[in-house]
Each structure stands twice: as structure tokens, then as C-alpha cells.
Amino acid sequence: MIISDAYLIVTSPGRNFVTLKIVTESGIYGIGDATLNGREMAVVAYLEEHVIPTLIGRDASRIEDIWHYLYRGAYWRRGPVTMAAIGAVDLALWDIKAKAAGMPLYQLLGGKSRERVMTYAHCTGKDIESCLTEVDKHVKQGYRAVRVQSGVPGIATIYGVAKREGERYEPADSELPAEHVWSTEKYLNHVPKLFTAVRERFGDDLHVLHDVHHRLTPIEAARLGKAVEPFHLFWLEDCVPAENQQSLKLVREHTTTPLAIGEVFNSIHDYRELIENQWIDYIRTPLSHGGGITHMRRVADFAALYHIRTGFHGPTDLSPVCLGAAIHFDTWVPNFGIQEHMPHEAITDQVFPHDYRFEDGHFLVGETPGHGVDIDEDLARKYPYKRASLPVNRLEDGTLWHW
Ligand SMILES: O=C(O)C(=O)C[C@H](O)[C@H](O)CO
Ligand SMILES: [Mg+2]
């Protein structure tokens, strides 16, 4: 199973995606998602200059050895660019191995632990009422879980809410970073009202999630966690920036609201204290950003020792390749929690044909050998890359804050 070729497909059907294709002498090929929103070309350069030349001639079946060659061999370990590059290679190699074995990826991992994968929808609105309208729409589509985000009076542009009603939300919406203004006080005074309205309208059985998006200090996050306890959230996500893992200790001491962290993490070391001390309840790192299946299954197993479950990141800025592989992983992993579902645009799904299905609020994994996602290279060529940057946030006094 010798690698004879490897190359990148950079395309922008609806938004930018980077896909790595690894081809073996037998003709079997695998694809991996190398998309890092707002930093796509950094991963392209890393792969083209420092990884792809080392893959040619290697045995594609040696997934573990290649993983360590790219991790330990890099010398400059970890970080989002390096681990996204390794993640893309890893997903492509697992795709190849499953195709060569003639089985869907979940079988290679250990078979089904569940028949279907529970997802959560993004329900957003410029105000509480329009958010509730979105919740109603998604509940009618069968979702058991919704992430609610609404506009905040006095804040012009906020994470998760499209600028114009009915538009799709895409944070990387300008060539250079847009600058938003943030107010913690206005946010903290508003968001409990959102959950009150959701519970009053939809009752207690609906799973309700919320993404703070790294914007609070630990004591502010503790205050919010306590304030929302009556609404028994499924999780409060990214309540603080978590480079300092100790931050979550303080939050944990004040609230029983479940905590989810990790979409910006890329290795087990980012989680170690959080998991060992049970300061969190869900791990979020997507396969493509966490060094692929090889690494993320170690993180999931480590988390399982401490009753922590998976809740993989799944926005539209991860391609259907990452989502497809995640659905196989979610179908297998014993300590599954939930899978984020932000539907891709139709043109994205045309460029990335796949066999996973969405039904009644859940994903159903496909039976095609491999991860079940491909890329239409001819169609992909019609959508050239265009630089798009994530926003930055400033406090009202101009202080550069967390976006
Ligand atoms: O989906 C989420 O929970 C996010 O926080 C989405 C992020 O803002 C997005 O992936 C950044 O590119
Ligand atoms: Mg998030």
C-alpha cells in the first residue's frame, strides 16, 4: 500500500475548504480535511512544503508510525497548524485502510455502539423572539437538542447571529478581520432571559446548549453558570479562554452547569488537567484539528476514565470530510455525548458527495468502505479560494478582547 501521490485541493464552494488527497499505487485513495478557518493557507504551506514530500513512497497502512513521524519528527510539536496538517493525513490514511479492508470506518474502529448519532442545531436570532422561532423550526425537524444564541441589546454584532435575518451565519466574512464591540455586562444581564423564554416555550425535555465563545473571566463564567442552573443546560461551551486550564477549576467550584471545552484545542495536553480533575463534561476538538482519529481516540478514551463525553465541533468551516469521519467516530465511541450539526450549503455537499444521512435530529452513518465522503475535483475547481478572516473583538473602551 505504497503512497504514490499526495496533493491538496483548495476550493471555496460556499466557503473555503482545504482537502488532502493521498493516492496509493493500488489506486486506492483517501481524503482528509485540512481546513483551518481563517488560516487555510498556513496549513497548505505546512503540508506542501514539510509533509507531502515525506509521504511519497511510505506505506499508507502504517498509520501510527506516520502519525509519530509527523508529530515527534516535526520537532516543533503541537499547535493548530501542525495538528490540522497531521489530522488531514490521518483522516486520509484511515479512509484508505478502511477502503482496503472493504469496510466502513466505524467497523474498523470497533463497530457500532449506537444506531444513530444525536445532533444539536444552531438556533440563532437577532432577538429572543426570533431565536424562539428558530427553535420551533428545528424542533419540528426532529432535533432533540438546540444551541441558542441571540442578539444582545446594545451589542451591534455578536457571535453566532447572522448580520441580516434569514442569512446564513459565516464568521469569516471579510478579507481582513472585521472588528466587533463586546460588552460582558450587557451579555450577562441578557442571556438568562433567553433561557427563561426557551424553557417557558419549549419545556424541560429539550436539550439546550449555549456557546459563550471564550468571552468571560472565570468569576463571570461562574456567575453565569450559577444563573442558568434553573434551566439545566446540556452544556455551557467555551465559558472562558482555556489556555489556563485552572480557570475551569474556579468555575467548577461554583456551578453544576455542565461545561464543554476544546474546539480550539489540538492535543491531549491541552486537556490533561481539565480531564484529570473533571473540570469539564465534554471534549470538543474535531478530528481534523486534533491530529485525526489516531490522536482523538486517545483523548476520548482518557476522557472516558473521568465520565467525560465527546461533543465534537461541527460548524460549516469543517468540511463534509471531517463531518463524515466524525459520524463514524461518533457511531463507535463508547463515551459519545453529542455532535454539532450546522448544515453545509448545497453547493458544498455537491463538491463533497457523501453517504451519511441526517434524519429526525440524528446522523445515520453510511456503509460505504472508508469514511464515505469524496471530493468532485472538477466541480471544486470552479470555486477558487478567496482569503477570509475571522473577526476580532474589542471591549467598549477599545481593549482587544476574545472573539
Ligand atoms: O460551532 C461553534 O461552536 C463555534 O464556536 C464556531 C466557531 O466560531 C468557528 O468554527 C470559527 O471558525
Ligand atoms: Mg463554539
End residue of a domain, out of 104, 122, 151 = 104
Give the domain range for residue 87. 2-104
- The reply to whether 70 and 216 lie within a common domain is no
pLDDT reported for residue 167: 86
- The reply to whether 248 and 263 lie within a common domain is yes
Tell me if 385 is assigned to some domain: no
Tell me if 341 is assigned to some domain: yes
Q: Is the pLDDT of residue 238 over 90?
A: yes
- The reply to whether 239 and 330 lie within a common domain is yes
- The reply to whether 42 and 116 lie within a common domain is no
**What residue type is assigned to position 305 of the chain?**
L
Tell me the best of 213, 214, 340, 341 to mutate to test the pocket of ligand 1, counting ligand atoms within 8 Å of each CB and taking the most: 213
Tell me if 283 is assigned to some domain: yes
Q: Is 398 left (phi over 0), alpha (psi -120 to 50) or beta?
A: left
Interval 273-316: pLDDT, tens:
999 999 999 999 999 999 999 999 999 999 999 999 999 999 99
Interval 158-216: pLDDT, tens:
999 998 877 889 999 999 999 999 999 999 999 999 999 999 999 999 999 999 999 99
CA of 315 to the centre of ligand 1 (A): 6
Tell me if 20 is assigned to some domain: yes
Q: How many Å apart are CA 223 and CA 209, to the nearest integer?
A: 17
Report how many domains make up the chain: 2
- The reply to whether 98 and 146 lie within a common domain is no
Q: What is the pTM of this model?
A: 0.98
- The reply to whether 273 and 313 lie within a common domain is yes
Tell the residue nearest (CA) to atom 5 of ligand 1: 213
- The reply to whether 16 and 127 lie within a common domain is no
Q: How many Å apart are CA 45 and CA 338, to the nearest integer?
A: 33
Tell me if 189 is assigned to some domain: yes
Of these residues, 122, 213, 214, 344, which one is catalytic? 213
CA of 234 to the centre of ligand 2 (A): 14
pLDDT reported for residue 243: 94
Closest CA to 106 of 340, 359, 336: 336
Q: Is the pLDDT of residue 260 over 90?
A: yes
Q: Which value does ipTM take for this structure?
A: 0.99
What CATH number should be reported for the domain holding residue 19? Answer: 3.30.390.10
Torsion sign (Cα): 285, 288, 291, 294:
positive
End residue of a domain, out of 56, 86, 104 = 104
Of these residues, 46, 106, 143, 159, which one is catalytic? 159
What CATH number should be reported for the domain holding residue 177? Answer: 3.20.20.120
- 213 is an active site residue: yes
Tell me the best of 120, 211, 215, 323 to mutate to test the pocket of ligand 1, counting ligand atoms within 8 Å of each CB and taking the most: 211
Sorting pLDDT into bands at 50, 70 and 90, what band is 383?
very high
Q: CB under 6 Å to ligand 1: residues?
A: 37, 171, 211, 213, 263, 313, 315, 317, 340, 390
pLDDT reported for residue 113: 98
- The reply to whether 121 and 92 lie within a common domain is no
Average pLDDT, the chain: 97
Tell me if 389 is assigned to some domain: no
Q: At what angle do helices 292-304 and 80-101 cross, to 10 degrees?
A: 100
Strand-pairing partners, residue 207, are 145
Tell me if 177 is assigned to some domain: yes
- The reply to whether 89 and 119 lie within a common domain is no
Report the nearest atom of ligand 1 relative to the CA of 211: 3
- The reply to whether 200 and 294 lie within a common domain is yes
Give the start-end residues of each E strand in 43-192. 117-125, 145-150, 179-182
Tell me if 375 is assigned to some domain: no
- 190 is an active site residue: no
Q: Is the pLDDT of residue 133 over 90?
A: yes
Using a 10 angstrom Cβ sphere, with 0-12 exposed, 13-18 middle and 19 or more buried, the burial of residue 201 is middle
Give the C-alpha distances (Å, rounded to integers) separating 23 from 6, 10, 43, 55, 244.
6, 17, 19, 10, 41
pLDDT above 90: percentage of residues in the chain = 98
Sorting pLDDT into bands at 50, 70 and 90, what band is 111?
very high
Cβ-defined contacts of 108-111 (< 8 Å, 24+): 109/293, 109/297, 109/328, 109/329, 109/332, 109/333, 110/332, 111/332
Report the nearest atom of ligand 1 relative to the CA of 122: 1
CA of 280 to the centre of ligand 1 (A): 19
